[in-house]
Each structure stands twice: as structure tokens, then as C-alpha cells.
């Protein structure tokens, strides 16, 4: 029994070692491609699709050939939407921002045209501290990790041929990291021949500047807005603009 267990534990190490040795000996390493290898890669990249594409704006739902053809057709704008998992008292799912982003991303991309949506960034920045708090909302990640993740997403999306990369956040604490990532990427690629536009769109988080005023002045719903939960009060951290979107996007959590 012990012998079998040792063999199982050692197998990943042996496989990794064999792979490294094969790569170093010219058996598929990351060195320069031969003309034959380059030709094979180009042929694979240009092979015809075997199935019809689906009608979606979500990048992760596409097959690679579908995505390739959409890029050729001008789908070079992509949205990076950030949400979070946070305390909303006992009335709303902790996942409210991510639920809203799923609906908003779909609507915005289709309205803009030739636009795709990157996989949602579902965690927001926060500090766990040292205290154990049973039942606290989360998880969250550090500001440094959050900004680095947004930077890497933008950098990789550029390598996929996107030329307009927009950051939009549905939680107030997300703005700093998105702006920092977009500004850093703009500086890094400022002198490259192919221009790529990285931009944080702060107007997307417009609950207090637009949504609340619209609800009270247009349909004239005089709601009692309580958004204090994130600042440590016993507020509900909800409002009609969020509740209604959640109900439309997810009947269970809304």
C-alpha cells in the first residue's frame, strides 16, 4: 500500500522532469520554431470551422475558430467588468454586483456592436486583516493583487488582437485598481506601432450620479435609499436600481 502511494505521489514530479528534459533536447521546448513548425501552426490557426458559431458576446463561450473569425470581422473591442462579493445585509445575495454585470455586459456589448465581454472579474479588493470574523462577506483580494490581475488581463487581451479595452466596475472600491491598470498599460505600450486604447470608464458606476435621480424623478418612486452596510452601519446596502436589475437577471438571487 505504501509503495503504491509513493508511486502516485512521485508521478507528477517524474512527468514534469521528463517534459523538461524533452523540451531542453529540442522535443517541443519554447525555442524558435522551425519553418515546418511555423507552417503547421499557421495552418492550424487558419483551418476552417467545423460547426456554426453561436450568438454570444461572452469571450469564454466561443470556440477558438469562432473567436478568430470574429476578430477578422472587426470585433476588436472588449469589456472587462469587475464586481465583487460583499455584505448586503439579509436582503440581497452577496453576489449582487456580479449578477448585475452579467446582464449589463450582455446589453452593453450588443448595443455597442462588434464588442465582446471578457470573463468577469468576480472578486474585489479588500483587507482581511488579522481578526477572524465568522460569517463575514467575501472573499476579497489585496489591492496589489487586484491591480496586477487587471493589468495582466489587459495585457493578454491586447495579445489577442483587441485594440480597445475598457474597464468598468459595478462596485465603488474597484475604481482605483482599474484606473491604475489602464494607465499603466497605456504607458507601457505608448510607443508601439499598433495602438491599443486602454481606458477605465468611471461613469459606469453611476448609482448616485444618475440612477437614483432617474428613479425618483422619472417613474417618481420615492425610495428610502440605504447604502451604509459597506461603511460599517446596519444599513441595507441596496436600492431599487440594483434590486430591479437583479430580479431581471436572476430570479432566484434577485
CB 124 within 8 A of CB 136: no
Name the pLDDT band for 225 (thresholds 50, 70, 90): low
Q: Can you give the pLDDT at residue 97?
A: 93
CB 31 within 8 A of CB 90: no
Measured CA to CA, the distance from residue 142 to residue 125 in angstroms comes to 5
Q: Can you give the pLDDT at residue 31?
A: 72
Can you list the pairs that 206-214 forms with residues at least 24 positions away whose Cβ atoms lie under 8 Å? 207/239, 207/241, 207/242, 211/239, 211/241, 212/239, 212/241
Report phi then psi at 167, rounded to 5. -105, 125
Higher-pLDDT residue of 26, 221: 221
CB 127 within 8 A of CB 40: no
CA 178 to chain centre: 11
Nearest-Å Rg of the Cα atoms of the chain is: 23
pLDDT in tens, 74-105: 999 999 999 999 887 777 889 999 999 999 99
Strand partners, 78: 116, 165
| Burial of 124 from C-beta contacts in 10 A (0-12 / 13-18 / 19+) | buried
Is 250's pLDDT higher than 80? Answer: no
Q: Tell me the HSE value of 195 on the side-chain side, using a 13 A CA sphere.
A: 2
- pLDDT over 70 for what percent of the chain? 80
CB 140 within 8 A of CB 125: yes
The CATH fold of domain 52-126+137-204: Rossmann fold (3.40.50)
Is 58's pLDDT higher than 80? Answer: yes
Kindly state the average pLDDT of the residues 199-215: 86
For the ranges 8-17, 176-185, 218-227, the lowest mean pLDDT is seen at 8-17
User: Mean pLDDT score of the chain, rounded to an integer?
Assistant: 84
Name the pLDDT band for 245 (thresholds 50, 70, 90): confident
Q: How far apart are the first and last CA of the chain?
A: 51
Name the pLDDT band for 17 (thresholds 50, 70, 90): very low
Higher-pLDDT residue of 19, 145: 145
Q: Is the dihedral of CA 5, 6, 7, 8 positive or negative?
A: positive
Q: Can you give the pLDDT at residue 47?
A: 84
Q: Can you give the pLDDT at residue 199?
A: 99
With a CB cutoff of 8 Å and minimum separation 6, the contacts of 176 are 125, 143, 147
Going by C-alpha positions, the residue among 41, 37, 15 that lies closest to residue 26 is 37
Higher-pLDDT residue of 106, 41: 106
Kindly state the average pLDDT of the residues 195-201: 98
189: left (phi over 0), alpha (psi -120 to 50) or beta: alpha
Name the pLDDT band for 221 (thresholds 50, 70, 90): confident
Amino acid at each position: 500500500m505504501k509503495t503504491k502511494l509513493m508511486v502516485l505521489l512521485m508521478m507528477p514530479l517524474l512527468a514534469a522532469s521528463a517534459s523538461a528534459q524533452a523540451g531542453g533536447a529540442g522535443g517541443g521546448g519554447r525555442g524558435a520554431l522551425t519553418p515546418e513548425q511555423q507552417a503547421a501552426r499557421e495552418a492550424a490557426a487558419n483551418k476552417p470551422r467545423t460547426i456554426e458559431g453561436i450568438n454570444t458576446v461572452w469571450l469564454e463561450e466561443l470556440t477558438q475558430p469562432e473567436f478568430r473569425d470574429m476578430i477578422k470581422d472587426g470585433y476588436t473591442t472588449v469589456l472587462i467588468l469587475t464586481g465583487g462579493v460583499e455584505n448586503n445585509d439579509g436582503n440581497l445575495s452577496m453576489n449582487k454586483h456580479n449578477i448585475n454585470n452579467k446582464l449589463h455586459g450582455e446589453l452593453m456589448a450588443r448595443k455597442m456592436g462588434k464588442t465582446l465581454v471578457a470573463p468577469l472579474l468576480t472578486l474585489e479588493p479588500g483587507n482581511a486583516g488579522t481578526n477572524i470574523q465568522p460569517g463575514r462577506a467575501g472573499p476579497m483580494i489585496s489591492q496589489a493583487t487586484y491591480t496586477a490581475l487587471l493589468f495582466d488581463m489587459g495585457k493578454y487581451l491586447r495579445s489577442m488582437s483587441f485594440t480597445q479595452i475598457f474597464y468598468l466596475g459595478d462596485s465603488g472600491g474597484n475604481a482605483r485598481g482599474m484606473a491604475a491598470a489602464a494607465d499603466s498599460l497605456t504607458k507601457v505600450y505608448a510607443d508601439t506601432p499598433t495602438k491599443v486604447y486602454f481606458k477605465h470608464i468611471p461613469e459606469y458606476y453611476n448609482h448616485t450620479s444618475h440612477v437614483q435621480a432617474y428613479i425618483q424623478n422619472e417613474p417618481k418612486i420615492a425610495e428610502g435609499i440605504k447604502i451604509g452596510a459597506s461603511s460599517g452601519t446596519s444599513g441595507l446596502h441596496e436600492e431599487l436600481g440594483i434590486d430591479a436589475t437583479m430580479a431581471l437577471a436572476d430570479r432566484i438571487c434577485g
